[in-house]
Amino acid sequence: MNNIEKKLNLGCAGYKKEGYINVDWDPAVQPDVIHDLNKFPYPFADNFFGVVEADHVLEHLEKVFPAMNEIHRLLKPGGKLIVKVPHFSRGFTHAGHAHGFDVTFPCVEFKLVRMRLKWAAFLKLLPHLGCGPVVVFLLGGLSYFFSFLANLSPNFCSRFWCFWVGGFEEIEFEFVKK
């Protein structure tokens, strides 16, 4: 019997993860499986995966809840789902985003294990945008500070405080299939 846990990376966008089945709609990014995530069902069996990751993909989909239902179908009982999405305070700064998300992301079919706000999620991209190492270091420090404070009370932060610090780039959720 094969005890290797099957892992799925939805919307890989060219950032393929080793050990995962990488899915994307664009053949140019050379995914393992080409599939439009707006089309159901996804081409996998029920209860097939132990881990599913959706890293900055749900905000691009037409309908989030049917996608979450489909992910639920794919996960084994007790399987882990990791979702990273833009916070609504920064979610619409990209023309391709159809949705922004809040800390109250409802997933009745999943148990929330962990949720974390991140003030600056893409520091590694800053040098490519012309930012020097000092700027990247300072923004990293601010991100750590603001993220730490925000995660002391994410609900309060999401409701009020996020607008004082320029919004949050990312919310990371970790769910387990009930």
Query: What pLDDT, in 10s, does the model give residues 56-102?
Result: 998 888 899 999 999 999 999 999 999 999 888 765 566 676 677 88
Contacts of 5 (CB under 8 A, 6+ apart): 49, 50, 51
φ and ψ at 134, to 5 degrees? -70, -45
Domain ranges for the chain, please list them: 7-177
pLDDT given at position 1? 41
Sign of CA dihedral 129, 130, 134, 138: negative
Burial class (CB within 10 angstroms; exposed 0-12, middle 13-18, buried 19+) of 146: buried
* Architecture label for domain 7-177: 3-Layer(aba) Sandwich (3.40)
Read off the pTM.
Answer: 0.86
pLDDT given at position 15? 85
37/60 Cα distance (integer angstroms):
10
Sign of CA dihedral 172, 176, 177, 178: negative
Does residue 177 contact residue 81 with C-beta atoms inside 8 Å? yes
Beta bridge partners of 115: 173
Beta bridge partners of 75: 49
Which is nearest to 112 in space by CA: 173, 50, 49?
173
Give the pLDDT mean for 119-134.
89
pLDDT given at position 41? 97
Average pLDDT, the chain: 88
135/39 Cα distance (integer angstroms):
42
